[in-house]
Amino acid sequence: MAAVASAHSPTSLLSQPYWYRCLPADTDVHRLDRGLFAVTGNAAVQEALAHPLIVADHPLKASARAFGPNVLDADGPGHRAFRALLAPVLSAGRIAEYKRALIPGLVRGLVDSIAGVETDRFHDAYAHRVPYGIVCTILGIDASLENRFHRLTRPLARLLDYPTQETDETHANVTELLRLIEEQRRSEAAGAQSLLERIEWTRDRKGISLTDSEVRSTALLFFLAGTETSSAFITSLVYCMGRGVFDLGELRDEAVRDAWIEEVLRLYPPVQTIVRFAGDDLTVQGVTVPRHSAVLVSVAGANRDPRLFEHPDRFDIGRSTKGSIPFAVGAHSCPGAMLAKTEFSLLVEELVHRCSEVVVTRDRLAMESQSFSHPTDFSVEFRTR
């Protein structure tokens, strides 16, 4: 099978936010280069993500090298053990508790600081506050360290991109974050409810065999997965609110609000591309993918597949989002989806309560990054009553 004839090299192709659009429409499984495949249509993406021979673990994966063994880069029983460690902090009961006692204060704090403000730095200065507040609390990290964790964590998104950007900075940041997590574990701040305590308790109670360093890597991965995804998506929420031509008051209704959030998730999934590997020779949609190939799975392409979503690039709050997969599918599907949706619903509720209008006042129509993607280079004004 010949590689896709394209005006772009794989590297320049993949650096474009909507790279899947540049590929021929006659197949959903594309050979981009030797040992490099891309999967784009909705059915093909779902098949690839659930495929038993398409694996997450690979010795050359930058995230595995940087973080050490962790949930995102494991398969089979090892992966299930990591998931079992995280389950207690993301249970429905715990989320109900966060919804009642934790998230409302964080959401009010954010909306207090943006009400009446026009900013061109929403993502850098504001979007992270609620997600970092939530995940630091879950991890038992002292609130005074939130900004430091934020500064160190944000560049790590590059480790999940393809082609990856592994630098001295990303390695130094991982080392420093693991040190801080260990330090917090020993401090007063990490109470009995902290993620680390919980992980260790679950490990010992369920007899899961994981080393202390694997426990720390799990905590760090949880931190990255729970903060930068949500920060990126909160930027997309605000952007769509600011560009939409509708009465904000409509979003007071919980069902309308949740449908609106689902449509933003369909159009702006923060994880646009997932990197996997062929564990053996296999086929996806009948196309042969040789063993050891990298397989780039386009969540963005799946969510804008015209065979499933009419006028897929159009924002349409009335449409069914069935088949939209912003949280992926299969063994690695996001365990934080329910927490994330709770967070977003409370934030939008507070924004429409406090603001008469949210307006994008300047827009260069630019998108940032593959792993934690969001609109960038725009200004937004939060007008109050």
* Least distance in angstroms from the C-beta of 7 to ligand HEM: 29
The site for ligand HEM, by CB under 6 A, has a size of: 24
* Least distance in angstroms from the C-beta of 330 to ligand HEM: 7
> In the set 269, 304, 370, 372, which binds ligand HEM (CB under 6 A)?
269
* Least distance in angstroms from the C-beta of 268 to ligand HEM: 9
* CA separation for the pair 115, 64 (Å, rounded): 41
C-beta neighbour count of 276 within 10 angstroms: 24
DSSP codes, 150-192: HHHHGGGGGGGSSS----HHHHHHHHHHHHHHHHHHHSTTS-T
C-beta neighbour count of 330 within 10 angstroms: 18
The residue (of 126 and 233) whose beta carbon lies closer to ligand HEM is 233
> In the set 332, 358, 360, 374, which binds ligand HEM (CB under 6 A)?
332
∠ CA 24-27-28, rounded to 5°? 100
Structure tokens at 310: 């009419």
> In the set 10, 68, 140, 335, which binds ligand HEM (CB under 6 A)?
335
Strands 294-298 and 36-39: what pairing?
parallel
* Least distance in angstroms from the C-beta of 345 to ligand HEM: 12
Q: Helix or strand or coil: residue 370?
A: coil
Residue 83 as a binder of ligand HEM (CB under 6 A): the answer is yes
Residue 159 as a binder of ligand HEM (CB under 6 A): the answer is no
DSSP codes, 45-85: HHHHHH-TTEES--TT-HHHHHH-S-GGG--HHHHHHHHHH
* Least distance in angstroms from the C-beta of 228 to ligand HEM: 9
SS3 content of the chain, % helix, strand, coil (to 5): 55, 15, 35
Site string for ligand HEM, 233-252 (x = CB under 6 A): x-------------------
> In the set 72, 81, 111, 237, which binds ligand HEM (CB under 6 A)?
72
Identity of the amino acid at 155: P
* Least distance in angstroms from the C-beta of 274 to ligand HEM: 4
C-beta neighbour count of 187 within 10 angstroms: 13
* CA separation for the pair 348, 317 (Å, rounded): 15
Helix axes 212-243, 254-267, angle to 10 degrees: 110
Question: What contacts 154, CB < 8 A, 6 or more positions away?
Answer: 128, 228
Residue 4 as a binder of ligand HEM (CB under 6 A): the answer is no
* Least distance in angstroms from the C-beta of 208 to ligand HEM: 15
Question: What contacts 93, CB < 8 A, 6 or more positions away?
Answer: none
* CA separation for the pair 331, 329 (Å, rounded): 7
> In the set 107, 110, 210, 328, which binds ligand HEM (CB under 6 A)?
328
Binding segment for ligand HEM (CB under 6 A), chosen from 30-38, 102-110, 113-121, 334-342, is 334-342
Site string for ligand HEM, 27-56 (x = CB under 6 A): ------------------------------
The residue (of 202 and 230) whose beta carbon lies closer to ligand HEM is 230
Binding segment for ligand HEM (CB under 6 A), chosen from 6-14, 104-112, 308-316, 320-328, is 320-328
The residue (of 4 and 240) whose beta carbon lies closer to ligand HEM is 240
Residue nearest to ligand HEM according to CB distances in the complex: 336
Question: What contacts 377, CB < 8 A, 6 or more positions away?
Answer: 120, 363, 364, 366
Binding segment for ligand HEM (CB under 6 A), chosen from 95-103, 109-117, 266-274, 367-375, is 266-274
Strand partners, 362: 379
The residue (of 97 and 357) whose beta carbon lies closer to ligand HEM is 97
Q: Which of residues 104-143 bind ligand HEM (CB under 6 A)?
A: 135
Contact positions toward ligand HEM, by CB under 6 A? 71-72, 83, 86, 135, 222, 225-226, 229-230, 233, 269-271, 274, 326-328, 332, 334-336, 339-340
